[in-house]
Amino acid sequence: TPDAGRCPVDHKAAQFDPFQDAYMENPSEFVRWAREQKPVFYSPKLDYWVVTRYQAIKDIFRDPIAFSPSNVLEPVGQPSPEAASILKQYGYAMNRTLVNEDEPAHMARRRVLMEPFTPEHLRKHEPMVRRLVTEAIDGFIDDGRVDLMEKLLWDVPFSVALEFLGIEDDSDRATMHKFSIAHTINAFGRPTPEESANVAHTVGQFWQFSGEVLEKMKRTPDGPGWMRYSIRQQKEFPDVVTDSYLHSMMMAIIVAAHESTSFASANAIRLLLEHPESWADICKNPLLISPAVEECLRHNGSIGSWRRRATRDVEIEGVAIPAGARLLLVVSSANHDPRQFGDPDFFDIRRDNTVEHLTFGFGAHQCLGKNIGRMEMQIIIGELSRRLPHMRLAEQTYKYVHNLAFRGPRNLVVEWDPAQNPERNDA
């Protein structure tokens, strides 16, 4: 065979292909061989350099000049000419937002737009999150079995995202679900030739929908939400908050504020239920919920990998990387690096440095919404552990939308005996 006599590690690098269940299920396990033996390697199938250890990834996040985020939302491979021409018909022009903007434009924009993310502003949203979670759980608490993804974890973070952004919640949920998945496949996935025309149509429609929402908001700029705040800031800083930015952001943020949190919550609940002692601990002692959420974000977070591009010739852990090279930072592998986290595969809700995980990125672009995401996860897990402490995972096979970045199961089925619901005894 052509590979005969080759080093097995080189063979693994040559074969590396993350668009499969094994990567989605456990990305850190998927690249364990690299983290241990070849922490920076070139993947010819992706045309990306893959980086797997904690310190190297953190150092890359720390330097947005040498490592530009410009490719964060870029399709992974070349889009087919057909898909490109479909997108063109819709006037699709996704460009820079915050997450993929270079310095110094990025910091200027982040500064002008960050106020609604401050803790004082976030506190206002807490009762709304609790109400949404409570209503969703009321809807299934007597059923004994539910797909949490369908009845709670997809919708609640979506509603919270709409409320935070100020988007009227009159959209059809099924259409929005389709939009989100198509955007994820377009930006982080590898659509099959059959899929790619469909994905392009849906992404094009999502782009137009985002433009319409934006136009509507521009007519009521004094209303609520971060997007209207951005529209008001545009009047004062027109060169910093451009029209292209507003339109691109409108589309990207609906997904970023939503899928990240839905999947993080699903991954966390699954992990907790797979560790019944930890689940029992948080059911007994709600003060453990906040550190448990952080450990879930480290151990089984909703971001598999994130991307950067080298702007000059650089060396990463002794490996020469040419200017222009694209980098795949496997953040979930960094989160399982024994150099940073002792006994890293052990799930320990009392771990003292778990907050150093890289699931929210690090440095200039670190997630602006991290405290919204954390609050949602804490409330979801808090309410479930209080009202359904006896729930357990049902037998199931987890399914995924194959992509580099957003990871979590499409469904998460749990079961319990409704006769044992604590609130029945309270009555």
Q: What's the min distance (Å) between Cβ of 393 and ligand HEM?
A: 21
Binding test (CB under 6 A) with ligand HEM, winner from 51, 60, 98, 293 = 98
The secondary structure element, H or E, covering residue 260 is helix 259-274
408 near ligand HEM, judged by CB under 6 A:
no
Binding test (CB under 6 A) with ligand HEM, winner from 372, 379, 384, 388 = 372
Identify how many contiguous H helices and E strands the chain contains and give both numbers.
21, 10
Q: What's the min distance (Å) between Cβ of 152 and ligand HEM?
A: 15
The one segment of 38-46, 198-206, 253-261, 272-280 that binds ligand HEM by CB under 6 A: 253-261
Report how far apart, in Å, the C-alpha atoms of 413 and of each of 51, 133, 167, 270, 335 are: 34, 17, 30, 9, 27
Binding test (CB under 6 A) with ligand HEM, winner from 241, 368, 391, 404 = 368
The secondary structure element, H or E, covering residue 291 is helix 289-300
Q: Cα-flanking dihedrals φ and ψ of residue 196, to 5°?
A: -65, -30
Site string for ligand HEM, 192-231 (x = CB under 6 A): ----------------------------------------
Nearer to ligand HEM, 106 or 351 (CB): 106
Q: What is the full DSSP assignment across 6-43?
A: --HHHHHHHH----SHHHHH-HHHHTHHHHHH-SEEEE
Pairing of strands 326-329, 48-51: parallel
The one segment of 179-187, 209-217, 269-277, 297-305 that binds ligand HEM by CB under 6 A: 297-305
Residue in 324, 116, 62 with CA at minimum distance from that of residue 231: 116
Angle at 272 between CA 338 and CA 348, to 5 degrees: 35
Contacts of 163 (CB under 8 A, 6+ apart): 125, 128, 169, 225
Q: What's the min distance (Å) between Cβ of 359 and ligand HEM?
A: 5
Question: Residue 309 is encoded by which pair of tokens?
Answer: 């591009």
DSSP state letter for 48: E
118 near ligand HEM, judged by CB under 6 A:
no
Nearer to ligand HEM, 80 or 290 (CB): 290
226-236 and 105-113 are packed helices; what angle lies between their axes, rounded to 10 degrees?
A: 120
Site string for ligand HEM, 46-65 (x = CB under 6 A): ---------------x----
Nearer to ligand HEM, 27 or 361 (CB): 361
379 near ligand HEM, judged by CB under 6 A:
no
Binding test (CB under 6 A) with ligand HEM, winner from 159, 234, 261, 305 = 261
Interacting residues with ligand HEM between 143 and 172 (CB under 6 A): 164
Site string for ligand HEM, 298-327 (x = CB under 6 A): ---xxx--x---------------------
Report how far apart, in Å, the C-alpha atoms of 408 and of each of 13, 270, 370, 404 are: 25, 10, 17, 12
Binding test (CB under 6 A) with ligand HEM, winner from 92, 207, 360, 416 = 360
Question: Residue 198 is encoded by which pair of tokens?
Answer: 């469909």
Q: What's the min distance (Å) between Cβ of 200 and ligand HEM?
A: 25
Question: Residue 361 is encoded by which pair of tokens?
Answer: 């990125």
67 near ligand HEM, judged by CB under 6 A:
no
Binding residues for ligand HEM, rule: CB under 6 A, are: 61, 69, 98-99, 110, 164, 256-257, 260-261, 264, 301-303, 306, 359-363, 365-369, 372-373
